[in-house]
């Protein structure tokens, strides 16, 4: 059992004003793994005051000084990468070999890219006789999710620090240890007191206190649509800026001349990573009607090749979902697909064989209509839906027939044709023929998927304001 009994405020590890603790459950074993302080509004007030006091000096440091400080944090995190990865696997359940890069490696990479990106920001430009200066927007309240705990902290806190902002972070209470590792790295890197503060706790007690605190200027949240709506509602009272990265129901569009097997295998790997608990996962698979039967067989075989089990076992390719409530929700969606008449190709709502403990779900493939609930709502589990289309126009129509617009993928033999289709799809990130995610390019979405962009210089710019001088 790991016990964390302090929060990080004004450069010191200090007792929380709250008297309770929160318990972290290992989703593979269903056993208690760690405890953290259950903080509250008084802790947030101390943290916000510390951040506000540190803002004038930190915002006046040079971009190069801030980049150097962020690079030191990245170095320290990298030196503890094995420890951090094992903690994330124990909290989240993603298989170890996937988490080494998908969780810890990419988080550190993103932080380094943020440090490099300060030189790409136009801090000062002349518009006629006027100097247009970009300056820190103020104190940032960052609220991060459990599915990629370190990565989201690095994306938000790293960009805020690069912009010259100070930060109050509420890391997730479900997978919280990354927030403590990050705070330790900040302290070791010598970042001034009050520039970064950590208050652990729940959304209602700590998250809402951050959003409503009068000294917090900007809110950045990654979470559910419901959480985003609540943040916007509370932030509107004081006209605070908000940046939201919310849900997704992303389309994997496979045109009829594409390499069908590669498109399905790579697309399903994306959809099933972290047991499908990724907001940009390609969970709606749009396939030419002429090739639907072939696609169904490939998808079925691909899903059934997954090995479900202990995430520390090298043979495992699919771990658990995050908790009992998540498991029941995902199984409920699978049952709803069956009840609505969608064709179940493989998987189902039953527990995987031989796994009596842990929050495991069978990898599931449906063939259905875009009108089915399983094709319209974010499931956040290892479930994909194959949906047929007639031509390129129909594929675009189906892709856009969604409340979300976070990500998509296009597969085609002709690259220019794929790009033409991509430009008509209302999604923030669109990959062509399996291209890798570029962490220097912006990440964010349309519609219910959120407001604003993260990563690279675009993430830094979310925390800047313009001044017209002269």
Read off the pLDDT of residues 71-117 as tens digits, 9 standing for 90 and up.
999 999 999 999 999 999 999 999 999 999 999 999 999 999 999 99
Mean pLDDT (whole number) for 439-467: 98
Task: Clarify whether residues 419 and 456 are in a common domain.
Answer: no
Task: Clarify whether residues 382 and 265 are in a common domain.
Answer: yes
Is the Cβ–Cβ distance between 187 and 6 less than 8 Å?
A: no
Continuous segment of H or E residues that includes residue 96: helix 96-99
In the prediction, which pLDDT does 269 show?
97
The per-residue pLDDT for range 332-349, each reduced to its tens digit, is: 999 999 999 999 999 999
Task: Clarify whether residues 221 and 339 are in a common domain.
Answer: no
The per-residue pLDDT for range 52-73, each reduced to its tens digit, is: 999 999 999 999 999 999 999 9
What token pair was written down for 386? 């194959």
Is the Cβ–Cβ distance between 118 and 162 less than 8 Å?
A: yes
In the prediction, which pLDDT does 322 show?
96
Closest by Cα among 332, 417, 414, 444 to 379: 332
* Contacts with 99 (C-beta within 8 Å, 6 or more apart), sequence order: 85, 88, 89, 92, 311
Task: Clarify whether residues 416 and 429 are in a common domain.
Answer: yes
Task: Clarify whether residues 226 and 285 are in a common domain.
Answer: no
Task: Clarify whether residues 203 and 224 are in a common domain.
Answer: yes
* CATH number of residue 114's parent domain: 3.40.605.10
Task: Clarify whether residues 70 and 140 are in a common domain.
Answer: yes
In the prediction, which pLDDT does 276 show?
98
The per-residue pLDDT for range 180-203, each reduced to its tens digit, is: 999 999 999 999 999 999 999 999
Closest by Cα among 148, 143, 466, 426 to 279: 148
Closest by Cα among 126, 457, 99 to 312: 99
In angstroms, the CA 433 to CA 280 distance is 16
CA triple 350-353-354, angle to 5 deg = 135
Q: Could you tell me the CA-to-CA distances from 20 to 13, 46, 286, 342 in Å, in that order?
A: 17, 18, 48, 46
Task: Clarify whether residues 355 and 460 are in a common domain.
Answer: no
* Contacts with 457 (C-beta within 8 Å, 6 or more apart), sequence order: 117, 118, 120, 121, 440
Say if 444 falls within a structural domain.
no
In angstroms, the CA 269 to CA 96 distance is 16
Task: Clarify whether residues 160 and 34 are in a common domain.
Answer: yes
Is the Cβ–Cβ distance between 167 and 195 less than 8 Å?
A: yes
Number of Cβ within a 10 Å radius of residue 212: 17
In angstroms, the CA 173 to CA 316 distance is 26
The per-residue pLDDT for range 272-292, each reduced to its tens digit, is: 999 999 999 999 999 999 999
- The mean pLDDT value of the chain amounts to 98
Say if 332 falls within a structural domain.
yes
How many Å separate Cα 411 from the centre of its chain? 24
Say if 329 falls within a structural domain.
yes
In the prediction, which pLDDT does 397 show?
98
Closest by Cα among 121, 97, 119, 99 to 108: 99
What token pair was written down for 168? 């109050």
In angstroms, the CA 408 to CA 429 distance is 6
Burial class (CB in 10 A: 0-12, 13-18, 19+), 85: buried
Q: Which residues are designated catalytic?
A: 245, 279
In the prediction, which pLDDT does 38 show?
98
Mean pLDDT (whole number) for 251-258: 97
* Contacts with 352 (C-beta within 8 Å, 6 or more apart), sequence order: 308, 360, 361, 362
In the prediction, which pLDDT does 415 show?
96
Continuous segment of H or E residues that includes residue 37: strand 31-37
What token pair was written down for 173? 């209470």
* 170: containing domain: 2-246+449-469
In the prediction, which pLDDT does 228 show?
97
In the prediction, which pLDDT does 190 show?
98
Task: Clarify whether residues 260 and 397 are in a common domain.
Answer: yes
Task: Clarify whether residues 209 and 313 are in a common domain.
Answer: no
The per-residue pLDDT for range 141-195, each reduced to its tens digit, is: 999 999 999 999 999 999 999 999 999 999 999 999 999 999 999 999 999 999 9
Q: Are strands 446-447 and 124-127 parallel, antiparallel or unpaired?
A: unpaired
Domain count, the chain: 2
What token pair was written down for 402? 């969604």
Mean pLDDT (whole number) for 401-424: 98
Say if 443 falls within a structural domain.
no
Mean pLDDT (whole number) for 126-137: 98
Percent of the chain with pLDDT over 70: 100
Task: Clarify whether residues 198 and 274 are in a common domain.
Answer: no
Say if 58 falls within a structural domain.
yes
Number of Cβ within a 10 Å radius of residue 390: 13
Q: Could you tell me the CA-to-CA distances from 55 to 106, 153, 159, 424, 461 in Å, in that order?
A: 28, 19, 15, 42, 17
Residue in the structure block whose two tokens are 């979300």 = 404
Is the Cβ–Cβ distance between 347 and 384 less than 8 Å?
A: no
End-to-end CA distance of the chain: 59
Say if 288 falls within a structural domain.
yes
Say if 141 falls within a structural domain.
yes
Mean pLDDT (whole number) for 12-31: 97
Its pTM stands at: 0.97
* CATH number of residue 343's parent domain: 3.40.309.10
């Amino acid at each position: 059992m790991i016990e964390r009994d302090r929060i990080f405020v004004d450069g010191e590890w200090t007792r929380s004003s709250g008297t309770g603790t929160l318990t972290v459950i290992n989703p593979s074993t269903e056993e208690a793994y760690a405890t953290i302080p259950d903080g509250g509004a008084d802790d947030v007030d101390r943290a916000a005051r510390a951040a506000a006091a540190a803002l004038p000096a930190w915002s006046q440091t040079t971009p190069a000084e801030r980049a150097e400080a962020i690079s030191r944090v990245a170095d320290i995190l990298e030196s503890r990468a094995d420890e951090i990865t094992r903690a994330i696997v124990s909290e989240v359940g993603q298989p170890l070999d996937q988490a080494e890069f998908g969780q810890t490696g990419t988080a550190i990479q993103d932080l380094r890219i943020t440090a490099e990106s300060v030189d790409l920001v136009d801090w000062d430009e002349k518009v006629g006789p006027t100097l247009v200066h970009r300056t820190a927007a103020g104190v940032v309240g960052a609220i991060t999710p459990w599915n990629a705990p370190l990565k989201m902290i690095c994306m938000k806190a790293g960009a805020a620090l690069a912009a010259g902002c100070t930060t109050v972070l509420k890391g997730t209470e479900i997978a919280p240890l990354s927030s403590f590792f990050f705070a330790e790295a900040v302290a070791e890197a010598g970042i001034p007191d009050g520039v970064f503060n950590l208050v652990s706790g729940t959304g209602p007690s700590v998250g809402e206190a951050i959003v409503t605190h009068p000294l917090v200027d900007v809110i950045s949240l990654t979470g559910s649509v419901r959480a985003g709506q609540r943040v916007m509602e509370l932030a509107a009272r004081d006209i605070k800026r908000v940046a939201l990265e919310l849900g997704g129901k992303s389309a994997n569009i496979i045109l009829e001349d594409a390499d069908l097997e590669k498109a399905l295998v790579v697309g399903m790997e994306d959809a099933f990573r972290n047991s499908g608990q990724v907001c940009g996962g390609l969970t709606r698979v749009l396939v030419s009607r002429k090739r639907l039967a072939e696609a169904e067989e490939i998808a079925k075989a691909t899903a059934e090749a997954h090995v479900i089990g202990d995430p520390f076992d090298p043979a495992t390719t699919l771990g658990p979902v995050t908790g009992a409530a998540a498991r029941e929700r995902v199984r409920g969606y699978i049952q709803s697909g069956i009840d609505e008449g969608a064709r179940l190709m493989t998987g189902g709502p039953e527990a995987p064989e031989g796994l009596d403990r842990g929050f495991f779900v069978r990898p599931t493939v449906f063939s259905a209509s875009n009108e089915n609930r399983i094709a319209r709502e974010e499931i956040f589990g290892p479930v994909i839906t194959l949906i047929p289309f007639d031509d390129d126009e129909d594929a675009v129509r189906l892709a856009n027939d969604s409340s979300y617009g976070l990500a998509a993928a296009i597969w085609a033999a002709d690259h220019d044709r794929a790009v033409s289709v991509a430009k008509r799809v209302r999604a923030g990130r669109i990959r062509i023929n399996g291209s890798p995610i570029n962490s220097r390019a912006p990440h964010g979405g349309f519609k219910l998927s959120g407001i604003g962009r993260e990563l690279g210089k675009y993430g830094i710019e979310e925390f800047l304001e313009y001044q017209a001088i002269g």
